[in-house]
Amino acid sequence: MPKSVKAPPPQQASLKEMWGKRTTKTEEEDEKLDLGGAMNIEPENNNKGSSKRTGVLTRPDVLPKLKKRKIIQSDDEKEDQPKRSATTVVAESGKPTSDKPATFSSQSLKAKQKESVDAVSMVLEDMDVATSAGEGEEEVENDDSDMEVDDGIVSASAQAALRKKGEVDIKGGWKVGEPVPYAALTKAFSLIEATTKRLEKTAILTSFLLLVIQRSAKADHNSLLQAVYLCINRLSPDYVGVELGIGESLLVKAIAESTGRSLSLIKADLKREGDLGLVAMNSKNSQKTLFKPKPLTLPFVFSNLRDIALTTGNSSQAKKVSVITKLLAACQDFEAKYIVRSLEGKLRIGNAERSVLVALAQAVVLAEKEKVGKKWSQEKLTARLEEGANIIKAVYSELPSYDKVIPALLEVGIDGLRDKCKLTPGVPLKPMLAKPTKAIGEVLDRFENKQFTCEYKYDGERAQVHKLENGTVGVFSRNSEDMSKKYPDLVDQLPKCIKESTKSFVLDAEAVAIDRLTGKLMPFQELSRRKRKDVKVEDIQVRVCLFAFDLLYLNGEPLLQRPLYERRELLRQHFTPVPREFDFAKSSDSETIEEIQTFLEESVKDGCEGLMVKMLDSDASYYEPSRRSVNWLKLKKDYLAGVGDSLDLVVVGGYYGKGKRTNVYGAFLLACYDSESEEYQTICKIGTGFSEENLQAHYDALRPLEITKVRGDIKVGGAKPDIWFEPKIVWEVLTADLSLSPIYTAAQGLVEDRGISLRFPRFIRVRDDKNADDATGPEQIAEMYERQALAQSNGKKKKGGDADDGFW
């Protein structure tokens, strides 16, 4: 029901007054804010039951909808985004400059950013309880677009983005058809970094992408495409494999050459700040310049970053340093900071890809709204925003290529996107994942009165196999990495397995190490011995067998919306097993605890990890890309006495060994990864499960990753390791159970104010197939803890336990 909205009391400070105290904006610029009056400000609610990472609205009818962080389509809590003047220090010409950088520490910079963000963020928090069109006490009831205050929060940040584009825009903007200034992107980044509120971040990014859309020429798809890529710090789809991640030493050298400062001073600054991007910015902004460099543009920066990533061969390091030096020489304000961070591979602004997808959807919807020129009711806008976000996330999960999705989006709009962008051989989709379960009884409870099947859970590497109609075959990892050069033997042996009627397909399968003489399956550790690239078939010592368990695409038709029993039947009709090279995953349509138990024991005896239990019929058995679904359950032998799942954790710190471990690290600090805030959260110290050979191998792998100061994106808590590492290496770890901890920060605020830790953690194996970004997240850890607590409380059924976890 529409609610009348009254203007706030006159004694409340206006936004212009707030800005007058906090910035040096001119009155003319302040007039552009046009908020139509002051706002009532209410304090942020910090109830223990809510996540501390999002601002919490004071409206009681909205609060319940904020409890679950997993509702991505409700990503929009605030109504505006911040504006601030540049806080960089540029040396005045004519004044001498020293070799000392501008005096910004990471703490002082954040304080300055926060200062200029506070005023607007206060308005953002209140925007859900009042609109901006109020004069005195007059009720606003004659304007559909502003009259209704919807009970949802989806449209709040989108409306903020629409009204407040001027806050994100750079001074003077840029004309339609001109290249996007790189300064516009870095201003948005600085505002995003300055706030901890996820929905504020989305509002700011929405505003920036909206400006890009509206100021791009009609046939220009590249501006938005490049902007999105730089927002997620990538240069191409994952399967293309164009990566940055430039080493620290190269960047230090480039910063020195571009600023005229010594290597020793830059290294000293890095040791103090722990942020090479901040060091680059301070070094650049303290440098005396005779003339102002030509402004960087987004296409120019994107092109140079690609050149750096693709440079190989002789003298490649020198060539990279040369390009980086020229880029840094042209930087102003925040630009050097974010160019260096992009080159390092981590923007560290706390903006996950899922938020970028939501912002992209909102920007497209708002561009459509402004272009049509009609006023939409709050209800219609909210519905349209939710629909747009859901469509874009679903399409991207099925076809994760911005190269294909964004041009289609600009060409046909959101409504035509599903028809234009479908699963396509050659573009690996995001895989469907399973939820863990601790007992066979839980399986029967979940699938009671439903058809289901049990399959072997093989101890190998997930492999998505594609064949195009032209005969090209590709093998991709669960992270969309092209593994065709790692598994040339799979590519070669596949034609023997394909029936003549099979022209194109996408298989979901597991590549498992096998002894070709005996047929015995080997553990994952054997598979990890294979080289990752440029493998020659004649040199292969560890052979693999491909076990196919799903068929997702066949002869021009996606099969995702077909029930599993149909997909399985088509798989068996169109492929032929070849002993010890290709086979179907062994399955059993079991119905009783005894049958499942027998099949589980059989799987373990055959060298597998356990069972996958899957819904077989109805729409519940459809393939759901990027979703960890309750329609797939994994039952591993290790789970039956543990917490229900192993964890994939990142090694972030080390402790010097004693006794027999004197010359290696004796124990390690592990962390989970929060993709939403882009931070690593410490979870435990581990020192068991290692052989002497393990410890030496870990030392050799981690020694080059040692850093002098903990990174800013590692949320440490009370842990005090002897040495810190770059978060690169992922380990699989088993634990007896989980407990609340005042020392560690994992899932802090999701269950209680304290973090969650592992009791008696034990090292299982290195996960070479996973990046640090793929580590277990805090939501999953919190869910495991709650499931454990409920199991200990007489096995009461977990409220909401049948909910799926959406990747996006």
- DSSP 3-state of 542: coil
Question: For the chain, where do the domains classified as CATH 3.30.470.30 start and end?
Answer: 455-632
C-alpha–C-alpha distance, residues 546 and 41, integer Å: 60
**Cβ distance 647 to 664 under 8 Å?**
no
413, two tokens: 């709009």
DSSP annotation of 768: T
| Active-site residue identified among 83, 393, 457, 715 | 457
**pLDDT for residue 696:** 92
706, two tokens: 């040692």
**pLDDT for residue 791:** 65
**pLDDT for residue 691:** 86
Question: For the chain, where do the domains classified as CATH 2.40.50.140 start and end?
Answer: 647-806
Question: For the chain, where do the domains classified as CATH 1.10.3260.10 start and end?
Answer: 240-344
**pLDDT for residue 478:** 92
Which residues of the chain are modeled with pLDDT < 70?
1-164, 374, 638-645, 791-808
Run of H or E including 508? strand 505-513
Going by C-beta distance under 8 Å and a sequence separation of 6 or more, which residues neighbour residue 715?
671, 679, 680, 681, 682, 745, 748
Going by C-beta distance under 8 Å and a sequence separation of 6 or more, which residues neighbour residue 265?
99, 100, 101
Its pTM stands at 0.73
**pLDDT for residue 61:** 39
Cα-trace Rg, the chain: 27
**pLDDT for residue 105:** 55
**CATH code for the domain defined by 455-632:** 3.30.470.30
CA 706, 707, 712, 718 dihedral sign is: positive
**Which position has the token pair 């929905």?**
199
Q: Reduce the secondary structure of 649-698 to three states and give it as a string.
A: EEEEEEEECCHHHCCCEEEEEEEEEECCCCEEEEEEEECCCCCHHHHHHH
Backbone φ and ψ of 643, nearest 5°? -90, -5
> What CATH architecture does domain 647-806 belong to?
Beta Barrel (2.40)
- DSSP 3-state of 505: strand
pLDDT tens digits for range 675-708 = 888 899 999 999 988 888 889 999 999 999 998 8
* 218 belongs to the catalytic site: no
Angle at 724 between CA 723 and CA 730, to 5 degrees: 120
CATH of region 240-344, choose from 3.40.800.20, 3.40.50.10110, 1.10.3260.10, 3.90.78.10 = 1.10.3260.10
Q: What is the DSSP string of 605-649?
A: HTT--EEEEEE-SSGGGS--TTEEEEEEEEEEGGGGGSSS--EEE
